[in-house]
Amino acid sequence: MALRDVAIVGLHATEQARRLPHRTALDLAQEAVFGAIADAGLRPADVDGVAADWPGPGGTVDESASWSRSLGRSLNWVGEGMLDTAGARGVMKAAAAIAAGLCDVAVVGGGLSGRFGGRGPVGVAVAEVEFVDVWGAYSIPLFALVAQGYIRRFGTTPEQLATVAATIRNNGSSNPEAMMYGKGPYTVDDILASPLVATPFHLLDVCITGEGGGAVVLTSLERARDLPHQPVAVLGAGMEFAGNHGMPPLDYRTVGRLGAAAAQRAFGAAGVTARDADVLALYDPNSFELLRQLEVIGLCGEGEGGAFVDDGHIALDGRYPTNPEGGCLSYSWNGTQHMTLKVAEAVRQIRGTAVHQVPGAEVAVVANAGSGTRHYEVVVLGKA
Amino acid sequence: MTRSTPTPSELSVEFWSAAAKHRLLVPYCGGCGIRYFPPERLCPGCGEPGWHYVESTGTGRVVAHTVVHRALSPDFATPFVLATVEVDGEWTMLTNIVDCDPDQVAVGLPVRVRFLDCEGGALPCFAPESSAGSPPDRTGQRP
Protein backbone atom coordinates (compact mmCIF):
# COMPACT_ATOMS: atom_id res chain seq x y z
CA MET A 1 0.00 0.00 0.00
CA ALA A 2 1.27 3.50 -0.78
CA LEU A 3 0.30 6.86 0.71
CA ARG A 4 -2.22 7.40 -2.09
CA ASP A 5 -4.03 4.22 -1.03
CA VAL A 6 -4.98 5.94 2.23
CA ALA A 7 -8.00 8.23 2.51
CA ILE A 8 -9.46 10.76 4.90
CA VAL A 9 -12.94 9.48 5.72
CA GLY A 10 -14.12 11.51 8.69
CA LEU A 11 -13.81 15.01 10.09
CA HIS A 12 -15.16 17.17 12.86
CA ALA A 13 -14.68 20.81 13.77
CA THR A 14 -15.83 22.02 17.18
CA GLU A 15 -16.99 25.55 17.82
CA GLN A 16 -14.11 28.04 17.47
CA ALA A 17 -14.02 31.26 19.47
CA ARG A 18 -11.64 33.77 20.99
CA ARG A 19 -12.50 32.19 24.33
CA LEU A 20 -14.51 29.12 25.26
CA PRO A 21 -14.73 29.48 29.04
CA HIS A 22 -17.40 26.79 29.25
CA ARG A 23 -15.18 24.19 27.57
CA THR A 24 -12.12 22.25 28.72
CA ALA A 25 -9.36 21.13 26.37
CA LEU A 26 -10.29 17.48 26.94
CA ASP A 27 -13.96 18.18 26.29
CA LEU A 28 -13.04 19.85 22.97
CA ALA A 29 -10.58 17.10 22.01
CA GLN A 30 -13.10 14.36 22.78
CA GLU A 31 -15.87 16.11 20.85
CA ALA A 32 -13.48 16.42 17.90
CA VAL A 33 -12.20 12.84 18.00
CA PHE A 34 -15.54 11.11 18.57
CA GLY A 35 -17.23 13.50 16.14
CA ALA A 36 -14.76 12.62 13.39
CA ILE A 37 -15.17 8.89 14.08
CA ALA A 38 -18.97 9.23 13.84
CA ASP A 39 -18.68 11.30 10.65
CA ALA A 40 -16.63 8.47 9.16
CA GLY A 41 -19.44 6.04 9.88
CA LEU A 42 -17.19 4.12 12.26
CA ARG A 43 -17.37 3.14 15.94
CA PRO A 44 -14.72 4.17 18.51
CA ALA A 45 -13.63 0.53 18.79
CA ASP A 46 -12.78 0.55 15.06
CA VAL A 47 -9.92 3.02 15.73
CA ASP A 48 -6.58 1.30 16.37
CA GLY A 49 -4.24 4.23 15.69
CA VAL A 50 -4.23 7.57 17.55
CA ALA A 51 -2.25 10.78 17.15
CA ALA A 52 -4.41 13.09 19.22
CA ASP A 53 -3.90 15.65 21.99
CA TRP A 54 -4.43 14.29 25.47
CA PRO A 55 -4.57 17.28 27.80
CA GLY A 56 -5.90 15.39 30.85
CA PRO A 57 -7.43 15.14 33.40
CA GLY A 58 -6.95 11.38 33.56
CA GLY A 59 -4.47 9.46 31.49
CA THR A 60 -0.99 10.88 30.95
CA VAL A 61 -0.76 14.39 29.53
CA ASP A 62 0.38 14.43 25.87
CA GLU A 63 0.46 10.62 25.65
CA SER A 64 -1.81 9.48 22.81
CA ALA A 65 -2.16 6.03 24.34
CA SER A 66 -4.32 7.75 26.97
CA TRP A 67 -7.11 7.54 24.36
CA SER A 68 -7.16 3.76 24.72
CA ARG A 69 -9.62 3.77 27.63
CA SER A 70 -11.95 6.33 26.00
CA LEU A 71 -11.99 4.28 22.81
CA GLY A 72 -12.53 1.08 24.77
CA ARG A 73 -9.77 -0.91 23.15
CA SER A 74 -6.02 -1.40 22.94
CA LEU A 75 -4.11 0.51 20.24
CA ASN A 76 -1.77 -0.62 17.49
CA TRP A 77 -0.13 2.73 16.68
CA VAL A 78 0.29 6.14 18.32
CA GLY A 79 1.82 9.44 17.25
CA GLU A 80 2.50 12.30 19.61
CA GLY A 81 4.77 15.22 20.29
CA MET A 82 5.32 18.43 18.38
CA LEU A 83 2.55 18.70 15.76
CA ASP A 84 2.27 14.97 15.09
CA THR A 85 -1.29 15.30 16.40
CA ALA A 86 -2.35 17.97 13.93
CA GLY A 87 -2.68 19.09 10.37
CA ALA A 88 -0.62 18.10 7.37
CA ARG A 89 2.10 16.55 9.52
CA GLY A 90 -0.33 14.48 11.55
CA VAL A 91 -2.19 13.34 8.44
CA MET A 92 0.92 12.29 6.51
CA LYS A 93 2.34 10.35 9.45
CA ALA A 94 -0.95 8.58 10.16
CA ALA A 95 -1.33 7.81 6.44
CA ALA A 96 2.19 6.42 6.36
CA ALA A 97 1.40 4.20 9.35
CA ILE A 98 -1.71 2.85 7.63
CA ALA A 99 0.15 2.37 4.33
CA ALA A 100 2.83 0.44 6.21
CA GLY A 101 0.21 -1.81 7.78
CA LEU A 102 0.89 -0.63 11.34
CA CYS A 103 -2.75 0.24 11.94
CA ASP A 104 -6.03 0.19 10.08
CA VAL A 105 -7.98 3.26 11.23
CA ALA A 106 -6.24 6.32 12.67
CA VAL A 107 -7.54 9.53 14.20
CA VAL A 108 -5.56 12.79 14.24
CA GLY A 109 -6.63 15.88 16.16
CA GLY A 110 -7.41 17.41 19.52
CA GLY A 111 -8.42 20.68 21.07
CA LEU A 112 -7.31 23.53 23.21
CA SER A 113 -8.85 25.94 25.67
CA GLY A 114 -7.68 28.33 28.34
CA ARG A 115 -4.13 28.65 27.06
CA PHE A 116 -4.00 31.13 24.18
CA GLY A 117 -7.45 32.61 24.14
CA GLY A 118 -7.91 36.28 24.84
CA ARG A 119 -4.23 37.00 25.25
CA GLY A 120 -3.73 39.40 22.43
CA PRO A 121 -2.67 39.08 18.83
CA VAL A 122 -0.68 35.87 19.05
CA GLY A 123 -0.08 32.66 20.94
CA VAL A 124 2.59 32.81 23.57
CA ALA A 125 5.22 30.11 23.86
CA VAL A 126 4.93 28.48 27.25
CA ALA A 127 8.55 27.43 27.52
CA GLU A 128 11.30 30.04 27.62
CA VAL A 129 13.34 30.12 24.41
CA GLU A 130 16.90 31.23 25.10
CA PHE A 131 18.32 33.87 22.74
CA VAL A 132 14.78 34.70 21.55
CA ASP A 133 12.56 35.85 24.42
CA VAL A 134 15.14 38.22 25.89
CA TRP A 135 14.98 40.40 22.77
CA GLY A 136 11.19 40.68 22.91
CA ALA A 137 10.85 38.33 19.94
CA TYR A 138 7.71 36.26 19.39
CA SER A 139 6.11 34.73 16.34
CA ILE A 140 4.89 37.92 14.62
CA PRO A 141 8.26 39.77 14.73
CA LEU A 142 10.10 36.56 13.82
CA PHE A 143 8.00 36.18 10.65
CA ALA A 144 8.41 39.94 10.11
CA LEU A 145 12.20 39.58 9.95
CA VAL A 146 11.78 37.19 7.02
CA ALA A 147 9.13 39.36 5.37
CA GLN A 148 11.28 42.50 5.55
CA GLY A 149 14.12 40.82 3.65
CA TYR A 150 11.71 39.63 0.97
CA ILE A 151 10.10 43.05 0.57
CA ARG A 152 13.48 44.76 0.35
CA ARG A 153 14.55 42.38 -2.40
CA PHE A 154 11.37 42.21 -4.46
CA GLY A 155 9.60 45.50 -3.75
CA THR A 156 6.34 43.99 -2.57
CA THR A 157 3.93 46.75 -1.58
CA PRO A 158 1.97 47.07 1.66
CA GLU A 159 -1.15 47.02 -0.53
CA GLN A 160 -0.23 43.60 -1.92
CA LEU A 161 0.19 42.15 1.58
CA ALA A 162 -3.06 43.81 2.64
CA THR A 163 -4.81 42.26 -0.37
CA VAL A 164 -3.90 38.83 0.96
CA ALA A 165 -5.23 39.69 4.42
CA ALA A 166 -8.44 41.29 3.13
CA THR A 167 -9.16 38.37 0.78
CA ILE A 168 -8.81 35.69 3.46
CA ARG A 169 -10.52 37.73 6.17
CA ASN A 170 -13.48 38.42 3.92
CA ASN A 171 -13.90 34.68 3.33
CA GLY A 172 -14.27 34.28 7.08
CA SER A 173 -16.58 37.28 7.44
CA SER A 174 -19.33 35.28 5.74
CA ASN A 175 -18.54 31.87 7.30
CA PRO A 176 -20.84 31.29 10.30
CA GLU A 177 -18.25 28.89 11.80
CA ALA A 178 -15.48 31.51 11.79
CA MET A 179 -14.28 33.27 14.95
CA MET A 180 -14.56 36.55 13.04
CA TYR A 181 -17.93 35.81 11.42
CA GLY A 182 -19.86 39.00 10.79
CA LYS A 183 -16.77 41.22 11.18
CA GLY A 184 -15.79 43.12 8.07
CA PRO A 185 -15.79 43.00 5.13
CA TYR A 186 -12.37 44.58 4.98
CA THR A 187 -10.82 46.73 2.29
CA VAL A 188 -7.09 47.01 1.63
CA ASP A 189 -7.28 50.43 3.28
CA ASP A 190 -8.88 48.92 6.40
CA ILE A 191 -5.95 46.52 6.74
CA LEU A 192 -3.41 49.31 6.29
CA ALA A 193 -5.25 51.55 8.75
CA SER A 194 -5.04 48.98 11.56
CA PRO A 195 -2.25 49.53 14.11
CA LEU A 196 1.25 48.28 13.33
CA VAL A 197 2.30 45.19 15.28
CA ALA A 198 5.77 44.67 13.80
CA THR A 199 6.78 46.17 10.48
CA PRO A 200 5.53 45.32 7.88
CA PHE A 201 2.57 43.74 9.70
CA HIS A 202 -0.53 45.58 10.81
CA LEU A 203 -2.92 44.02 13.30
CA LEU A 204 -5.19 42.83 10.48
CA ASP A 205 -2.22 41.29 8.61
CA VAL A 206 -1.76 38.71 11.36
CA CYS A 207 -3.86 35.79 12.57
CA ILE A 208 -6.30 35.81 15.42
CA THR A 209 -5.91 33.61 18.47
CA GLY A 210 -8.54 31.56 20.15
CA GLU A 211 -9.73 28.17 21.24
CA GLY A 212 -11.32 25.13 19.69
CA GLY A 213 -10.68 21.66 18.36
CA GLY A 214 -10.77 19.49 15.29
CA ALA A 215 -10.02 15.97 14.12
CA VAL A 216 -9.89 13.78 11.04
CA VAL A 217 -10.05 10.00 10.58
CA LEU A 218 -8.04 8.02 8.03
CA THR A 219 -8.17 4.47 6.78
CA SER A 220 -7.28 2.49 3.67
CA LEU A 221 -8.94 3.57 0.45
CA GLU A 222 -10.24 0.02 0.13
CA ARG A 223 -12.09 0.23 3.45
CA ALA A 224 -13.10 3.84 2.68
CA ARG A 225 -15.18 2.65 -0.28
CA ASP A 226 -17.64 1.08 2.20
CA LEU A 227 -17.98 4.24 4.31
CA PRO A 228 -20.62 6.96 3.88
CA HIS A 229 -18.56 9.88 2.50
CA GLN A 230 -16.63 10.52 -0.68
CA PRO A 231 -13.09 9.32 0.22
CA VAL A 232 -10.32 11.91 -0.07
CA ALA A 233 -6.98 10.31 -0.87
CA VAL A 234 -3.61 11.45 0.46
CA LEU A 235 -1.98 11.73 -2.98
CA GLY A 236 1.40 12.97 -1.84
CA ALA A 237 3.18 14.60 1.10
CA GLY A 238 6.44 16.18 2.15
CA MET A 239 8.03 17.97 5.06
CA GLU A 240 11.09 20.10 5.54
CA PHE A 241 12.96 21.50 8.55
CA ALA A 242 15.54 24.31 8.50
CA GLY A 243 16.64 23.67 12.07
CA ASN A 244 14.46 23.51 15.14
CA HIS A 245 11.30 25.52 15.76
CA GLY A 246 12.12 29.05 16.80
CA MET A 247 15.89 28.70 16.37
CA PRO A 248 17.34 32.19 16.04
CA PRO A 249 18.20 34.18 14.07
CA LEU A 250 15.96 34.42 11.03
CA ASP A 251 16.18 36.19 7.72
CA TYR A 252 14.93 35.66 4.19
CA ARG A 253 18.34 34.50 2.93
CA THR A 254 18.29 31.42 5.13
CA VAL A 255 14.62 30.40 5.36
CA GLY A 256 12.94 32.27 2.51
CA ARG A 257 12.51 29.25 0.27
CA LEU A 258 11.60 26.82 3.04
CA GLY A 259 9.00 24.37 1.75
CA ALA A 260 9.95 24.40 -1.93
CA ALA A 261 11.69 21.04 -1.69
CA ALA A 262 8.90 19.52 0.42
CA ALA A 263 6.28 20.72 -2.06
CA GLN A 264 8.27 19.32 -4.97
CA ARG A 265 8.38 15.91 -3.29
CA ALA A 266 4.67 16.03 -2.43
CA PHE A 267 3.64 16.95 -5.98
CA GLY A 268 6.07 14.40 -7.41
CA ALA A 269 4.41 11.62 -5.42
CA ALA A 270 0.94 12.92 -6.28
CA GLY A 271 1.67 13.13 -10.00
CA VAL A 272 0.24 16.65 -10.18
CA THR A 273 1.61 20.19 -9.87
CA ALA A 274 0.39 23.17 -7.86
CA ARG A 275 -1.30 24.40 -11.06
CA ASP A 276 -3.59 21.36 -10.93
CA ALA A 277 -4.96 22.42 -7.54
CA ASP A 278 -8.58 23.52 -7.36
CA VAL A 279 -8.36 24.93 -3.85
CA LEU A 280 -5.57 25.85 -1.44
CA ALA A 281 -5.52 25.56 2.37
CA LEU A 282 -2.22 27.30 3.09
CA TYR A 283 -0.84 28.42 6.41
CA ASP A 284 -1.66 32.07 7.06
CA PRO A 285 -0.22 33.26 10.37
CA ASN A 286 0.27 36.52 8.48
CA SER A 287 -0.25 37.97 5.02
CA PHE A 288 3.36 37.61 3.92
CA GLU A 289 3.73 33.95 4.81
CA LEU A 290 0.78 33.05 2.61
CA LEU A 291 2.20 35.06 -0.29
CA ARG A 292 5.58 33.35 0.17
CA GLN A 293 3.95 29.93 -0.04
CA LEU A 294 2.28 30.72 -3.36
CA GLU A 295 5.84 30.93 -4.65
CA VAL A 296 7.40 27.93 -2.89
CA ILE A 297 4.64 25.51 -3.90
CA GLY A 298 5.25 26.62 -7.49
CA LEU A 299 2.23 28.69 -8.50
CA CYS A 300 4.49 31.60 -9.42
CA GLY A 301 8.17 32.44 -9.43
CA GLU A 302 10.16 33.83 -6.51
CA GLY A 303 9.27 37.50 -6.08
CA GLU A 304 6.10 37.22 -8.19
CA GLY A 305 3.66 36.60 -5.32
CA GLY A 306 2.56 40.21 -5.08
CA ALA A 307 1.60 40.41 -8.74
CA PHE A 308 -0.05 36.98 -8.50
CA VAL A 309 -2.24 38.26 -5.67
CA ASP A 310 -2.97 41.52 -7.54
CA ASP A 311 -4.36 39.43 -10.36
CA GLY A 312 -7.04 38.06 -8.04
CA HIS A 313 -5.95 34.42 -8.27
CA ILE A 314 -6.44 33.62 -4.57
CA ALA A 315 -9.94 35.09 -4.30
CA LEU A 316 -13.00 32.84 -3.96
CA ASP A 317 -13.79 33.49 -7.63
CA GLY A 318 -10.14 33.26 -8.69
CA ARG A 319 -8.27 30.37 -10.26
CA TYR A 320 -6.82 29.22 -6.89
CA PRO A 321 -9.32 30.00 -4.14
CA THR A 322 -7.27 30.09 -0.95
CA ASN A 323 -8.52 29.44 2.58
CA PRO A 324 -12.19 29.75 1.59
CA GLU A 325 -13.23 29.20 5.23
CA GLY A 326 -11.26 32.23 6.43
CA GLY A 327 -7.99 30.54 7.47
CA CYS A 328 -6.08 31.51 10.57
CA LEU A 329 -6.74 35.17 9.82
CA SER A 330 -10.48 34.82 10.43
CA TYR A 331 -11.79 31.26 10.89
CA SER A 332 -9.54 29.88 13.62
CA TRP A 333 -6.12 29.79 15.18
CA ASN A 334 -6.26 27.68 18.32
CA GLY A 335 -2.77 26.53 19.21
CA THR A 336 -2.22 23.64 16.81
CA GLN A 337 -5.57 22.19 15.75
CA HIS A 338 -6.25 25.02 13.30
CA MET A 339 -3.83 23.00 11.19
CA THR A 340 -6.22 20.05 11.32
CA LEU A 341 -9.07 22.40 10.45
CA LYS A 342 -7.23 23.22 7.21
CA VAL A 343 -7.28 19.53 6.35
CA ALA A 344 -10.96 19.38 7.28
CA GLU A 345 -11.75 22.34 5.00
CA ALA A 346 -9.90 20.72 2.08
CA VAL A 347 -11.84 17.48 2.65
CA ARG A 348 -15.13 19.35 2.78
CA GLN A 349 -14.24 21.09 -0.49
CA ILE A 350 -13.55 17.76 -2.20
CA ARG A 351 -16.72 16.26 -0.73
CA GLY A 352 -18.62 19.28 -2.01
CA THR A 353 -19.92 20.30 1.42
CA ALA A 354 -17.90 23.44 2.25
CA VAL A 355 -19.50 26.69 3.40
CA HIS A 356 -17.83 28.54 0.52
CA GLN A 357 -17.78 25.67 -1.94
CA VAL A 358 -15.40 25.81 -4.89
CA PRO A 359 -17.41 24.20 -7.70
CA GLY A 360 -16.05 20.81 -8.73
CA ALA A 361 -13.01 20.87 -6.42
CA GLU A 362 -11.04 17.64 -6.79
CA VAL A 363 -7.46 18.49 -5.84
CA ALA A 364 -6.44 20.47 -2.74
CA VAL A 365 -3.11 21.51 -1.28
CA VAL A 366 -2.86 21.75 2.53
CA ALA A 367 0.20 23.20 4.24
CA ASN A 368 1.30 24.03 7.77
CA ALA A 369 3.68 26.53 9.31
CA GLY A 370 6.46 28.28 7.44
CA SER A 371 9.57 30.36 7.30
CA GLY A 372 9.34 31.99 10.72
CA THR A 373 9.04 28.62 12.44
CA ARG A 374 11.61 26.74 10.33
CA HIS A 375 9.26 23.86 9.50
CA TYR A 376 6.92 23.16 6.62
CA GLU A 377 4.55 20.28 5.95
CA VAL A 378 2.46 19.89 2.83
CA VAL A 379 -0.05 17.28 1.67
CA VAL A 380 -1.81 17.00 -1.66
CA LEU A 381 -5.34 15.64 -1.29
CA GLY A 382 -7.55 14.39 -4.10
CA LYS A 383 -10.96 12.96 -4.90
CA ALA A 384 -10.54 9.17 -4.87
CA MET B 1 9.32 47.23 33.75
CA THR B 2 12.47 45.17 34.09
CA ARG B 3 14.06 42.97 31.53
CA SER B 4 16.12 40.01 32.62
CA THR B 5 18.62 37.52 31.28
CA PRO B 6 17.40 33.99 30.53
CA THR B 7 18.02 30.90 32.60
CA PRO B 8 21.33 29.75 31.10
CA SER B 9 21.98 26.21 29.93
CA GLU B 10 25.28 24.44 30.57
CA LEU B 11 26.24 25.56 27.05
CA SER B 12 25.45 29.23 27.60
CA VAL B 13 26.38 29.92 31.22
CA GLU B 14 29.80 31.24 30.17
CA PHE B 15 28.19 33.50 27.54
CA TRP B 16 25.85 35.12 30.08
CA SER B 17 28.53 35.38 32.79
CA ALA B 18 30.73 37.28 30.35
CA ALA B 19 27.82 39.41 29.16
CA ALA B 20 27.24 40.49 32.76
CA LYS B 21 30.79 41.93 32.59
CA HIS B 22 30.03 43.55 29.23
CA ARG B 23 32.06 41.08 27.19
CA LEU B 24 30.59 39.44 24.10
CA LEU B 25 31.71 35.84 23.65
CA VAL B 26 30.99 33.45 20.80
CA PRO B 27 31.59 29.70 20.37
CA TYR B 28 34.70 29.05 18.26
CA CYS B 29 35.52 25.62 16.88
CA GLY B 30 39.26 24.93 16.84
CA GLY B 31 38.67 21.94 14.59
CA CYS B 32 37.18 23.72 11.58
CA GLY B 33 37.89 27.31 12.54
CA ILE B 34 34.34 28.72 12.53
CA ARG B 35 32.43 30.88 14.96
CA TYR B 36 28.74 30.05 15.33
CA PHE B 37 25.69 31.00 17.35
CA PRO B 38 23.66 29.99 19.33
CA PRO B 39 25.91 27.51 21.15
CA GLU B 40 25.50 23.82 20.37
CA ARG B 41 27.33 20.90 21.98
CA LEU B 42 28.57 19.76 18.57
CA CYS B 43 29.95 22.31 16.09
CA PRO B 44 27.44 22.77 13.21
CA GLY B 45 30.43 23.08 10.86
CA CYS B 46 32.21 19.79 11.57
CA GLY B 47 30.22 17.94 14.19
CA GLU B 48 33.02 17.94 16.75
CA PRO B 49 32.54 18.91 20.43
CA GLY B 50 35.92 20.62 20.84
CA TRP B 51 34.79 24.26 20.81
CA HIS B 52 35.39 27.03 23.29
CA TYR B 53 34.26 30.60 23.77
CA VAL B 54 36.35 33.42 22.30
CA GLU B 55 35.99 37.19 22.48
CA SER B 56 34.00 38.83 19.68
CA THR B 57 35.00 42.17 18.19
CA GLY B 58 31.47 43.27 19.05
CA THR B 59 31.07 44.90 15.64
CA GLY B 60 28.65 43.88 12.95
CA ARG B 61 25.98 44.92 10.52
CA VAL B 62 22.22 44.59 10.39
CA VAL B 63 21.02 41.85 8.03
CA ALA B 64 17.30 41.93 8.93
CA HIS B 65 15.17 44.06 11.21
CA THR B 66 11.61 44.83 12.24
CA VAL B 67 10.18 47.63 14.34
CA VAL B 68 8.03 46.02 17.01
CA HIS B 69 5.05 48.12 18.08
CA ARG B 70 3.30 45.52 20.23
CA ALA B 71 5.25 43.75 22.93
CA LEU B 72 4.05 40.63 24.68
CA SER B 73 5.44 41.83 27.97
CA PRO B 74 5.26 45.23 29.69
CA ASP B 75 9.01 44.85 30.22
CA PHE B 76 9.49 46.11 26.68
CA ALA B 77 8.86 49.75 25.83
CA THR B 78 7.55 50.15 22.29
CA PRO B 79 8.48 50.74 19.59
CA PHE B 80 11.73 48.77 19.68
CA VAL B 81 13.90 47.24 16.99
CA LEU B 82 14.37 43.48 16.74
CA ALA B 83 17.19 42.57 14.39
CA THR B 84 19.36 39.84 13.03
CA VAL B 85 22.95 41.10 13.19
CA GLU B 86 25.97 39.56 11.50
CA VAL B 87 28.84 39.87 13.95
CA ASP B 88 32.57 39.62 13.21
CA GLY B 89 31.58 39.25 9.56
CA GLU B 90 30.82 35.62 10.30
CA TRP B 91 28.10 34.67 12.77
CA THR B 92 24.59 36.00 13.34
CA MET B 93 22.48 36.63 16.39
CA LEU B 94 19.06 37.96 17.23
CA THR B 95 19.27 41.19 19.22
CA ASN B 96 17.86 44.68 19.68
CA ILE B 97 19.17 47.83 18.01
CA VAL B 98 19.19 50.56 20.64
CA ASP B 99 20.11 54.21 21.09
CA CYS B 100 18.72 55.36 17.78
CA ASP B 101 15.53 56.29 15.98
CA PRO B 102 13.97 52.99 14.85
CA ASP B 103 13.51 54.52 11.39
CA GLN B 104 17.28 54.99 11.17
CA VAL B 105 17.87 51.22 11.18
CA ALA B 106 18.48 49.70 7.76
CA VAL B 107 19.98 46.56 6.30
CA GLY B 108 23.74 46.97 6.16
CA LEU B 109 23.87 49.49 9.02
CA PRO B 110 27.19 49.12 10.87
CA VAL B 111 26.54 48.44 14.56
CA ARG B 112 28.52 47.82 17.72
CA VAL B 113 27.56 45.87 20.82
CA ARG B 114 26.08 47.90 23.67
CA PHE B 115 25.24 46.09 26.88
CA LEU B 116 21.94 46.69 28.59
CA ASP B 117 22.28 46.06 32.31
CA CYS B 118 19.27 44.26 33.65
CA GLU B 119 18.08 41.81 36.25
CA GLY B 120 20.47 38.85 36.30
CA GLY B 121 23.28 40.45 34.30
CA ALA B 122 23.37 42.29 30.99
CA LEU B 123 21.90 41.83 27.51
CA PRO B 124 24.13 42.34 24.47
CA CYS B 125 22.22 44.81 22.30
CA PHE B 126 23.71 46.76 19.40
CA ALA B 127 23.79 50.45 18.53
CA PRO B 128 24.72 52.22 15.30
CA GLU B 129 28.50 52.70 14.98
CA SER B 130 27.84 56.40 14.46
CA SER B 131 26.59 56.67 18.02
CA ALA B 132 29.55 54.71 19.40
CA GLY B 133 30.94 57.82 21.07
CA SER B 134 28.63 57.42 24.02
CA PRO B 135 29.75 55.23 26.92
CA PRO B 136 29.26 51.53 26.16
CA ASP B 137 27.96 50.61 29.61
CA ARG B 138 25.21 53.11 30.33
CA THR B 139 22.73 51.55 32.67
CA GLY B 140 19.00 51.75 32.84
CA GLN B 141 18.48 52.29 29.14
CA ARG B 142 15.87 50.33 27.30
CA PRO B 143 15.52 49.73 23.60
pLDDT in tens, A258-275: 999 999 999 999 999 999
Mutate: best of A124, A139, A245, A251, partner B, most B CBs <10 A: A251
Within a domain: residue A96? yes
Q: Is residue A366 part of a domain?
A: yes
Q: What is the pTM of this model?
A: 0.94
ipTM of the prediction greater than 0.90, yes or no: yes
Q: Is residue A138 part of a domain?
A: no
Q: Is pLDDT of B56 > 60?
A: yes
pLDDT at position A276: 98
Query: How many structural domains are present in chain A?
Result: 1
Q: Do A130 and B72 touch (CB under 8 A)?
A: no
A131 — contact with chain B (CB < 8 Å)?
yes
pLDDT, average across residues A79-103: 96
Structure confidence by residue, pLDDT tens digits, A209-245 = 999 999 999 999 999 999 999 999 999 999 999 988 8
Say whether pLDDT at B54 is over 60. yes
Residue A150 lies in a domain: no
Residue A128 binned pLDDT confidence (cut-offs 50, 70, 90): confident
Across the interface, do A136 and B7 touch by the CB < 8 Å criterion?
A: no
Q: Is residue A192 part of a domain?
A: no
Is residue A241 assigned to a domain?
Answer: yes
CB of B123 within 8 Å of any CB in chain A?
Answer: yes
A121: pLDDT strictly greater than 50: no
pLDDT band at B140 (very low <50, low <70, confident <90, very high): very low
Which of B76, B84, B90 should we substitute to test contact with A (largest number of A Cβ atoms within 10 Å)? B84
**What's the CATH number where A369 sits?**
3.40.47.10
Assess if residue A175 is contained within a domain. no
**Residues of chain A contacting residue B82, judged by C-beta atoms under 8 Å apart:** 135-137, 141, 144-145, 198
pLDDT at B133 over 80: no
pLDDT in tens, A326-376: 999 999 999 999 999 999 999 999 999 999 999 999 999 999 988 888 999
Give B1's pLDDT tier (boundaries 50, 70, 90).
Answer: low
Mean pLDDT of A6-28: 96
Q: Which site among B5, B24, B72 would you substitute to test the A interface, given the most A Cβ atoms closer than 10 Å to its Cβ?
A: B72
Contact residues on chain A for B65, CB-CB shorter than 8 A:
145, 148
Which residue among B64, B73, B94 places its CB closest to the CB of A131?
B94
Determine the pLDDT at residue A371: 87
- Res A115: pLDDT: 63
Residue-range definition of the domain harbouring residue A327? 3-117+208-383
Mean pLDDT of A294-298: 98
A197-207: pLDDT as tens digits? 999 999 999 99
pLDDT in tens, A28-72: 999 999 999 999 999 999 999 999 999 999 999 999 999 999 999
Q: How far apart are CA B54 and CA A177, in angstroms?
A: 56
- Tell me, yes or no, whether A48 lies in a domain: yes
Nearest CA in chain B to A125: B72
